[in-house]
Structure 1
Amino acid sequence: MTIAYWNKYIASICILLGSLSLSAQSKIEGERLRLFNEQFFAAENAKLREEYDKALVIFEALYQKDPESALVCYELAQLYAREEEEQDALFYAEKACEIEPENPWYFRLKLAVYGQFGKSELLIKSLEEATEKHPQDEDLLFQMAEAYYRNGQAEKAIESLNKLEAISGPHEEISNQKKSIYLEMGNLEGAIAELQKLIEIYPKNLDYRGSLGQLYQANNLDEKAFEVYQDMLAIDSLDPRPHLDLANYYQQKGEFHQSLYHLKKAMSSKQLDMERKIAVLLSLFDASRSDSLLTAKSFELLDEIVSQEPADARIYAMYGDYLSREGRDDEALTYYKKALEYGEKFQIWEQILLIEIQNRKFEALKQDAPLALESFPNQPLPYLLAGIAFKESKEYSKARDYLEDGQVYVFNNARLQTEFNLHLAEVSHEMGQHLESDQYFDAVLSVNPKHAGALNNYAYYLSLRNERLKDALRMSTDANTISPSNPVYLDTQAWVLHQLGRDEEAREVIEKALSLLAKPEPELAEHYGDILLGLGEKELARKQYELANGLQSSPSLKAKIKALP
C-alpha cells in the first residue's frame, strides 16, 4: 500500500470513529464494541480498496447487530446509491437522518439520494423544512433554488435566489443564474435587469455589456444594442469583443463594409485567442460560400492571421479548406502540407489524400499515402488510396500488399470494406489470380447484391475469360437495371452477348451505348468492330477498328485491321 493510501485510510477512520463513538457506543459495550469496531474497520478497508460487495456484506451484518447506528445506515445508503439500488439507498439515507436529524452529513446524503433517484417532491420538502429552520443558510437556499428550477418551478427558484441575494449581497453567480432563468421564462425585463446589475458591480467587464447588447439585438432593440457596443468601445477600443459584436450588428443591418471593417479589427487583435479566430473563420466558411466579396475578405483575414501566427497548424489547415472549397486544389495541398509541419493530424492527411485521388494525382498519392501511414499506421484510408495509386500505375504487387494490409484496420464499416474488396478483385484479375478475384467480388455482392459496379466488373472479367457466361449475362443485366443508360455497363452487356454468340442483340445494346457517349471511346469502338465482324459486316468492322486505332493505337488493333481482306 502507498503512503497516500494509508493517509487517506487513517483520516477516514478517524472521522468515522468520532461518529461511531456517538452512535454505536450507546448501544454496544465491552467486547461487543471491540468486535463491532473491528468489523467496521474491515468494511471501511474493503470500501477503500473498492471491494464494494465485500463492504456491503459487512455493513449489513453490522446493521443487524445495531440497527440504530446512524453511521452504519449512512455507509449503507452510500453503497446502495452507488449500485443504483433505489429502495435500499432511500431507506438507509432516511433512517440515518431519523436517528441523527441534526447531522449535516446525513442530511446532505439524503438530499443527494433524492436527487439521484428523481425524488423531486421529497427533495423540495426536505429543503423547505431545512430552510425554515435555518433561513440564513446560503448553501441551503442555493440548493432550494436549484431544486425548484429542476422541477420546473422557475418563479420559486427566483424567490429563493432573491432570499439568497438579500443575505449575501449582489453576487455574480446569483445574477447569472437569475438571468438564465428569466430568459427561459421569457421575462426579458428581468434578464436585462440582472445584466445591468452585473454591469454596475463590474463596470469594466465587457462580457456582461456584450451579453446585454446581444440580448437587446436578439429582441430587435437595435438602438439600445448599438449604444452598449459604443460604450464597450469607449472603455477599450482595442478589445476585440466590441468589434465582433459590431461586425455581427452591421451584418444583420446589411451594412457589409462596416461589418467587415470591425471583423478585421477583431481578427487582427492579439487579444483574440486562436480558438475564437478559428470559430469566426468557420462561421464565415458557410456564409461566404456564395458571396465573392465575403470570400475575398475571408482570404484577407486568413493572410492576416497567418502573419500573426506563422507556426499554428490550425490556420494553415483552415486556409487549405477555403482554397479547396474554391477549387484551388494545388494551392490547398500546399497549405495542408504546411500545416503538417506544425502538427500532424490525420484529418489533414485525409484532406491531402482525398484531393490527390479526386484529381488523379497518382504519383503524388504513391508518395503521400505511405508517408501518412508512417504516422498513422492504424488508419485504413491511406492503405486503400495507396493501393489504388499503385494499381493505376500497374504496380499490382505493391497495390495488393497495401490493400491486404489495410483490410486489417477496417472495423464496422461495410462501405470501406467493400472498397477494399473491389480493388483487390481488380488487382487479382490483373495478376491472373482469377479465383481470388472472383472471391473478392463474391464478398462484395454478399453484403450488397445490388452493387452495380461490382456486378458490371465481375461480369466483364468473366466474359474476358469466356467463363460462366450465363452468370456474367445475369450480372450485367442486373447492373444495367440498377444503373440504366450507363455506356460502360451497356458495353459490358454487349460484350457478354457477343461472347455468347448473340451478336444481333449485342449490336443493339452497343449501339445504344455509343449513342450515350459524349465522344468516341477506343474500347467501345473495338468491341463494336468485333460484334460487326461476328455479323459478317467486315467493312463496317474495319471502320470501327480504324477509329479505335486512331484514338489509341495498339498491336492487337493493327492485327485485326491487317487480317481483314
Structure 2
Amino acid sequence: MILTKFHRYKPTGIVLLFALILSLSTYAQRKKKNDEGTQASGVKLREAEFYFTEGEKFFILEDYAKAILYYQRTLELTPENGTVHYKIAEILARSSKQDDLLKASLSIEQALKLERKNKYFYLLAANIYSSLGRFDKAAQTYEALISEIKGTEEYLYELASIYQYANKPDEALKVYNRAESIMGVNEISSAQKQRILMDQGKTKEALAEGERLIEAYPGEERFVMGFAEVLSEKGMRNEAISYLEKFLQQNEDSPNAMMLLAGIYRDNNQEEKARPLLLKLFDNPDVEFSRKMLILGTYSAQISMNRSKKNADEDQEAFAFSLFNKLEQTNPTDANIHILGGDLYLSSERPREAQREYLQAIELGEVNYEVWENLLYIDMQLEQYDQAIVHADQALELYPNQRMIHYFSGYANLRKRHYKEAISSLEQAKKLSNSAPAFVSDLNALLGDAYNATKNYELSDKAYEEALAFNANNSVVLNQYSYFLALRKQNLEKAEKMSSTLVKNNPDNATFLDTYAWVLYMREKYKDARKAIERAVNSGNANATHLEHYGDILYKLGEVDNAVKQWERARGLNANSEILNKKIANRKIYE
C-alpha cells in the first residue's frame, strides 16, 4: 500500500521566537492589568525570553538535553505559552521510547489547549499519535486542523493515509472523495482509491476510478501507465494490455508506455507481440541506455532459468542476441554492454564468447567483482589454467580479500602442479572463509592433495581429516586420502575402512572401486582386491590405470599370463608408460 508520508513541519527558530515574543507580550498585557505597578513582571518576562532564546540555540546545535532544560525554565515563568509546550513536545517526539512519546503527547495537547490556530501544533500532534499507534487520535487531529484553519484541505490526504494505516478503508475512501470534491480528480487520490477498491475485491469500481482519471487527463501517459500497472499487479493483464494498446494507437511515440506494454506482453506469455515493440525501442536513441540494459538483463535471467530446467528456447536466445547486437553497435566502447554480453553468453552456455566479452569489458574500464569471478569460472570450465592464474593475479590487485579469487588461483595452480603457489592461495582462501564451513571443507580437500604432492604428509592428513570432520561421506576426500595412504603404505587399516565406505556409497564408480582394490592390494588381500578391480574393469569405464592394477593383482595371484594380457590392454590405452612396457617385457611387476 503506497501512502503519503506524515509531515514533520519544522518552523524556523525565528518564527517560533517571534511567536513566543507575541505570546509573552500578550501575557505581559494580562500581567499589567493585574499588577501594573510592579517591575518584577517585566523582569520575569525578559528572563523567560532569555531562556527561550537559549533553548533555541541549543536546539539548533542539536543539544536537545540542554534545549529542553531551557524550555522548561521558560515554561516555569510562562506556563500558558503554547509555543514552549510545542517545543518540548517536538524534542520528546524525536525519541523512540514510549514514555517520551507519551510525555510528548501531553505537551502538545497542552499547546493545542492554549492555541488552536497554529497548524504546526496539529501536525506534530498527529505525528506523535501515529508513532504511538493511536490512529484514531491522529485522525481526530487532522479533522480538527482542517476544521479550525482555513486553507489546510491538502491534509485530507494525510487523514486518508491515517485511515488506511488504521485499516479503515471505507473511511479512507470517504476522505479521498472529500479531497476530490475540493481539489478535483488527481493522481494521488485516484491511485489510492483504486488500490483500496482492488483490495476489497471491488474490481468494477476500481476500474471506474482508473477510467475517471484517464478521462480527466486523456493525454497523460503516466496515468494510463499507473492504471495499467495496478491492473497487471492484480493479475488483470489482458485489461492492462487493452488500455495501453488503446493509448498507443493515439500516442504511438510514447516509449514508456511501449516499454510497459512489452513487459506485460512477456509476463502474459505473448512474446511474439512484445518483440516488435522491443525492436522499436532499441532503435530509438531517445530511450535511455540503462532501460535497454535492464530489458536485456531480464532476458539473460530467463535464458539462464530455462537452461537450468533443460528447457532452452533457441528462438528466444536468438532474439535476445539481436537486441544485444543493436546495443553493442551503438555503444561499442561501453564496458557495461560487454559485461551484459558476457552474462548473456554465459546464460546461453557459450563460455568462449562470454570470456571474450568479459575480457573486452576489462580492457575498456573498471569492472565489478562479479565479472572477475565469472571470468575465472569460465577459465576453469575451459581448463585454461594458465589464463586463470594470470586473471586471478589481476583480480587480486583490485579485490585482495575475495576468497573465491584465491580459490580459483589455488585450484589452477594445483592443476598446473605449482604446489607451493596452490597452497599459499588455498590457505589464504581458508583464512577468509571462517563463516563458510562447507567451502572450508572443499578447500581442505584441495589442500590435502597439494600438501601430499609436496610430501608434507602430516599437513596433508590434517587437511583431509578436517574435511571429513565436516562431511564424513565426502567421496572425493575418502578416495584421495585412502589412495595416498595406500601408496605410502601407511595406516592401511584406516585406508581400507575409508575406501570400503566409499564403494558402499558409490557401488558403480570405477575410480572408487579401483582405489578400494589398490588398498586391498597393499594389504595383501589379493582375492578381495581381484573382486573389486573386476567390478571396476567390467563397469565400462575402465582406464589404463585400472587395467594395470588388474594385471598387478593377477600377478600376485600367480596368474602371470593373464596379468600380462591386462598390462597389454593397459598399454593400448597408455603406450608411453615406461614401467608398463618393462612389466610386459620381463613378465613381472616392479614395486
Considering the TM-score relative to the shorter chain, is it more than 0.5? yes
Deviation string for 1:243-297 (max 9, x for gaps)? 4455467668877655422331122222322232233223334556433222222
Bigger relative CO (Cα 8 Å, ≥ 6 apart)? 2
Deviation of the 1:124 alpha carbon: 2.3
Q: Does 1:301 align with 2:323?
A: yes
Aligned to 2:581: 558
Q: How does 1:35-434 map to 2 (within 5 A)?
A: 73-101=85-113, 102=116, 103-134=118-149, 137-212=152-227, 225-226=241-242, 228-235=244-251, 237-244=252-259, 247=262, 257-285=272-300, 289=306, 290-340=312-362, 341-434=364-457
Q: How does 1:460-539 map to 2 (within 5 A)?
A: 460-518=483-541, 520-539=542-561
Q: 1:410 aligns to what SS in structure 2? A: coil
Whether contact under 8 Å (1:241, 1:266) holds in the other structure is no
Whether contact under 8 Å (2:486, 2:518) holds in the other structure is yes
Aligned to 1:6: none
Q: Does 1:546 align with 2:568?
A: yes
Whether contact under 8 Å (2:229, 2:240) holds in the other structure is no
Over the residues paired in the alignment, what is the CA RMSD in angstroms?
3.6
Deviation of the 1:19 alpha carbon: 5.5
Deviation of the 1:326 alpha carbon: 2.9
Whether contact under 8 Å (1:44, 1:55) holds in the other structure is yes
> Letter of the aligned partner of 1:172 in structure 2?
E
Deviation of the 1:147 alpha carbon: 0.4
> Letter of the aligned partner of 2:561 in structure 1?
E
Once residues 453 and 32 of structure 1 are traced to their aligned partners in structure 2, the CA distance between those partners, rounded to angstroms, is: 88
Q: 1:204 aligns to what SS in structure 2? A: coil
Deviation of the 1:364 alpha carbon: 1.9
Deviation of the 1:493 alpha carbon: 2.2
> Letter of the aligned partner of 2:524 in structure 1?
G
Whether contact under 8 Å (2:545, 2:570) holds in the other structure is yes
Change (3 A) 1:118 1:195: same
- Structure 1: state its 5+ residue gaps: 1-10
Once residues 253 and 424 of structure 1 are traced to their aligned partners in structure 2, the CA distance between those partners, rounded to angstroms, is: 51
Q: 1:84 aligns to what SS in structure 2? A: coil
Q: 1:186 aligns to what SS in structure 2? A: coil
Once residues 291 and 284 of structure 1 are traced to their aligned partners in structure 2, the CA distance between those partners, rounded to angstroms, is: 11
Once residues 79 and 94 of structure 1 are traced to their aligned partners in structure 2, the CA distance between those partners, rounded to angstroms, is: 13
Whether contact under 8 Å (2:49, 2:74) holds in the other structure is no
Deviation of the 1:61 alpha carbon: 8.2
Whether contact under 8 Å (1:491, 1:513) holds in the other structure is yes
Deviation string for 1:81-104 (max 9, x for gaps)? 444211331223233322443243
Once residues 49 and 514 of structure 2 are traced to their aligned partners in structure 1, the CA distance between those partners, rounded to angstroms, is: 89
Deviation string for 1:402-452 (max 9, x for gaps)? 223333433522233223322222111101111111222233233333333
Once residues 477 and 187 of structure 2 are traced to their aligned partners in structure 1, the CA distance between those partners, rounded to angstroms, is: 65
Whether contact under 8 Å (1:311, 1:342) holds in the other structure is no
Once residues 538 and 79 of structure 2 are traced to their aligned partners in structure 1, the CA distance between those partners, rounded to angstroms, is: 93
Whether contact under 8 Å (1:23, 1:71) holds in the other structure is no
Deviation of the 1:371 alpha carbon: 1.7
Change (3 A) 1:60 1:98: closer
> Letter of the aligned partner of 2:103 in structure 1?
F
Whether contact under 8 Å (1:487, 1:516) holds in the other structure is yes
More deviation, 178-187/428-437: 178-187
Once residues 552 and 41 of structure 2 are traced to their aligned partners in structure 1, the CA distance between those partners, rounded to angstroms, is: 108
Change (3 A) 1:214 1:497: same
Once residues 278 and 160 of structure 2 are traced to their aligned partners in structure 1, the CA distance between those partners, rounded to angstroms, is: 40
> Letter of the aligned partner of 1:291 in structure 2?
D
Once residues 154 and 251 of structure 1 are traced to their aligned partners in structure 2, the CA distance between those partners, rounded to angstroms, is: 33
TM-score normalised over the length of structure 2: 0.81
> Letter of the aligned partner of 2:338 in structure 1?
Y
Q: 2:420 aligns to what SS in structure 1? A: helix
Deviation string for 1:331-386 (max 9, x for gaps)? 12112222222441111122111112122221221222212222222212121111
Whether contact under 8 Å (1:93, 1:109) holds in the other structure is no
- Structure 2: state its 5+ residue gaps: 1-10, 32-39, 307-311
Change (3 A) 1:57 1:469: farther
Once residues 537 and 77 of structure 2 are traced to their aligned partners in structure 1, the CA distance between those partners, rounded to angstroms, is: 94
Deviation of the 1:299 alpha carbon: 1.6
More deviation, 487-496/156-165: 487-496
Question: % of aligned pairs identical?
Answer: 26
Once residues 69 and 58 of structure 2 are traced to their aligned partners in structure 1, the CA distance between those partners, rounded to angstroms, is: 10
> Letter of the aligned partner of 1:87 in structure 2?
D
Change (3 A) 1:258 1:147: closer
Aligned residues: 553
More deviation, 328-337/81-90: 81-90
